[in-house]
A and B are shown apart, each in its own frame.
Chain A
Amino acid sequence: MKTHNSGKMNTDARIRQFVRACRPPVTDSAEFMEEFTRQADLLPVPASMTREENLKKTEQLCRLGAILSRGKKRNIAEGVAEAVAGIAVSILVFAAVTMFPSAWTEAESRLGIMYDSIAGTFRNFPLLLSCFLAVAVIAVSFRYVKGPGKDCR
Chain B
Amino acid sequence: MTREQFIASVSAEQESLRRFLCVLCGGDRFMADDIAQEALLKAYLSFTRFEGRSRFGTWLFRIACNCFYDRKKQGASLRGGTFADLPASEGFSDEESDAGFRYQKLYAAVDELPENEKVAVLLFYMEDKSVKEISDITGMPQVTVRSHLFRARKHLKKFLSDDSI
Binding site for B on A (CB under 8 A): 8, 11-12, 14-16, 18-20, 22-26, 29, 32-33, 35-37, 39-40, 43, 45-49, 51
Contact = CB atoms under 8 A, between A and B. Distances in A.
A103 B132 CA distance: 92
Interface in B42-93: 44-48
Contacts of A47: 48
B100 A24 contact: yes
A37 B109 CA distance: 35
Interface residues of B, number: 39
Contact of B14 (A8, A12, A20, A29): A29
A12 B18 CA distance: 24
A20 B157 contact: no
A14 B14 contact: no
Q: Is the interface of B mostly helix, strand, loop or mixed?
A: helix
Contacts of A20: 125-126
A16 B125 CA distance: 5
Contact of A24 (B22, B33, B41): B22
Contact of A40 (B33, B41, B122, B153): B41
A122 B44 CA distance: 78
B14 A33 contact: yes
Contacts, number: 94
Interface string B15-58: 10011001100010100010011001100111110000000000
Q: Lowest 4 A-B CB distances belong to which pairs?
A: A22-B106, A48-B48, A19-B125, A24-B103
A46 B37 contact: no
A46 B102 contact: no
Contacts of B1: 48-49
Contacts of A46: 44-48
Given A22-B103, A48-B47, A39 B37 contact: yes
B44 A43 contact: yes
Contact of A11 (B18, B46, B126, B157): B157
Given A15-B125, A22-B103, A49 B33 contact: no
A40 B11 CA distance: 13
Contact of B44 (A16, A22, A24, A40): A40
Contacts of A23: 19, 23, 103, 106, 126
A19 B159 CA distance: 12
B3 A45 contact: yes
Contact of B2 (A16, A43, A49): A49
Given A16-B125, A18-B160, A19-B106, A49 B3 contact: yes
A40 B2 CA distance: 13
